[in-house]
Amino acid sequence: MIALQQEALNSQPHSDPRWPPSVYYRFLAAIAGRLNAKVFVELGTCGGGASLTVASRNSGTKVVSIDLDKYPQVAGIEELCSNFFFYKGDSIAMAEKLGPDLALIDLLFVDTTHTYEQTMGEYKAWLPYMRKGGVICFDDLYRPGMNVVWDALPSPKTGIHDLKRMHVGGSPTDGGFGAVIV
């Protein structure tokens, strides 16, 4: 994970101004590359910068992204990346709708409300569809309650301190990034 963090920091962000150049997007893309990921699932698409970066840098990865709302930039990713698929719906409810028809998930990115209940619900709902040796990443670990989530997650895991450069926030309750190996 530390080597992949460095790879992300050394790589260039995408150049399209419709999406921010967040470094953790490149970190997710680097993990997908290292895993030779067939399936990446993102919970909480928003503008889709993470999905765009993973999909455009890993053409062999099926990128599935879920959100309650479809933001305007998402149509842009659908045009650019034929391996990107957006689904509108709740991140927990969609697990049993989509999970059985996907190949086992190599990389899952959990990035919705960052409450304890929702995040643990997402983790438990999607875990049965992960492949052994796959990776689950969590954003915004500095939000209230997310430290309890992080402590509850099983090892091996890397985060809080080791991956703090992946999401540097503007306040003490902003940012934080972690990765759990399944």
Ligand X SMILES: C[S@@+](CC[C@H](N)C(=O)[O-])C[C@H]1O[C@@H](n2cnc3c(N)ncnc32)[C@H](O)[C@@H]1O
**90 touching ligand X, by CB under 6 A:** yes
Residue with tokens 């993973």: 54
Q: Which of 13, 21, 33, 47 binds ligand X (CB under 6 A)?
A: 47
Residue (of 122, 155, 121, 161) closest to 141 by Cα position: 161
- Reading the block at residue 8, the tokens are 């992300």
CB of 61 to ligand X, least distance (A): 16
**106 touching ligand X, by CB under 6 A:** no
How buried is residue 130: exposed, middle or buried, by Cβ count under 10 Å (0-12/13-18/19+)?
buried
Q: In the complex, which residue's CB is closest to ligand X?
A: 44
**69 touching ligand X, by CB under 6 A:** yes
Max CA separation in the chain (angstroms): 40
What's the Rg (C-alpha) of the chain?
A: 15
- Piece in contact with ligand X (CB under 6 A), picked from 8-16, 32-40, 45-53, 148-156: 45-53
Binding positions for ligand X, rule: CB under 6 A:
42, 44, 46-47, 49-50, 66-69, 90-91, 111-113
